[in-house]
Amino acid sequence: MWAMPTKRLFITLEGTDGVGKSTHARLLKRWLQKKGVRVLLTREPGGGALAEKIRGLLLNPAIRMAPLVELFLYEAARADHLKTVIQPALKKKRVVICDRFTDATLAYQGFARGLSLTDIAALNEVASEGLKPDLTLLLDLSPKEGLAKARARTTSGSGDRLENEGLAFQRRVRHGYLSVAKRDKKRIRVVPVQSTIEATQGLIRDIVASVLKR
Ligand code: TMP
């Protein structure tokens, strides 16, 4: 058994739609808690009271918005989330697990929507006040499988506004994530999604354990 961390740790989970991030985030939280680690699990877009309202707008398939508007809403939600949830938890030396963060904006609004990566990096920096994850777990699965899983989750079979963008969009998102990961190998660890949840979670736990022991 490894020692409890006394330092703050900020872990993010990323991936295309349907890779199972939220399930793995929950399982990781439970596993850490059993080891006596104080954990906060949160998500983007959302996490804060105002940010959750913005999430409702962003994911509503009935609302159309220009890519730039979408970008600003994600960043506005992030700024609220950072101030009201992430910073206070890190100050209390919690391990914070966040389901998506700034890399998602590069992959979705940058690589997939085609907005300027330089502009997004600058806005990410402002909205997150320069906060960088200590560790990012990038769950990697073929977008075809991911999209099928994401659609199977909803009873109607219809997805949210981003899931409805389709396969070509998800392929650009995946390419974006892998490109970002290549540039920051120390922080971003690519986790190939395995055939069972247990096997994928095992890979995740090994990585997190090695980071906590550092
Ligand atoms: P979720 O399905 O993981 O809850 O995320 C909601 C959607 O928002 C998902 O399709 C990815 C998308 N997204 C962006 O496009 N940009 C962002 O910055 C974030 C955080 C999420």
The tens digit of pLDDT for each residue in 97-143 reads 999 999 999 999 999 999 999 999 999 999 999 999 999 999 999 99
Instruction: Give the mean pLDDT of 31-59.
Output: 97
The CA angle 66-71-74, to the nearest 5 degrees, is 125
Centre of ligand 1 to C-alpha 105, Å, is: 8
Centre of ligand 1 to C-alpha 14, Å, is: 9
Instruction: Give the mean pLDDT of 28-57.
Output: 97
8 A C-beta contact, residue 23 and residue 146: no
State the closest ligand 1 atom to the C-alpha of 43, by its place in the atom list counted from 1: 4
Q: For residues 153 and 27, what is the distance between their CA atoms, to the nearest angstrom?
A: 18
Looking at every residue in the chain, the average pLDDT score rounds to 94
Domain boundaries, the chain: 9-212
Classify strands 39-43 and 9-14 as parallel, antiparallel or unpaired.
Answer: unpaired
Give CATH superfamily name and number for 9-212. Answer: P-loop containing nucleotide triphosphate hydrolases (3.40.50.300)
Task: Look at residue 43 in the predicted model and tell me its pLDDT.
Answer: 98
* Type of residue at 130: G
| Type and span of the H or E element at 143 | helix 143-153
What pTM value is reported for the model?
0.95
Q: For residues 105 and 111, what is the distance between their CA atoms, to the nearest angstrom?
A: 9
What confidence category does residue 149 fall into, taking pLDDT thresholds of 50, 70 and 90?
confident
8 A C-beta contact, residue 171 and residue 102: no
8 A C-beta contact, residue 205 and residue 191: no
| Pocket perturbation via mutation, ligand 1, pick of 72, 106, 128, 162 by most ligand atoms within 8 A of CB | 162
Cα–Cα nearest to 139, from 54, 12, 31, 35: 12
Q: List all residues 6 or more positions away from 89 whose beta carbon is below 8 Å from its beta carbon.
A: 40, 42, 96
Task: Look at residue 155 in the predicted model and tell me its pLDDT.
Answer: 60
Percent of the chain whose pLDDT exceeds 70: 94
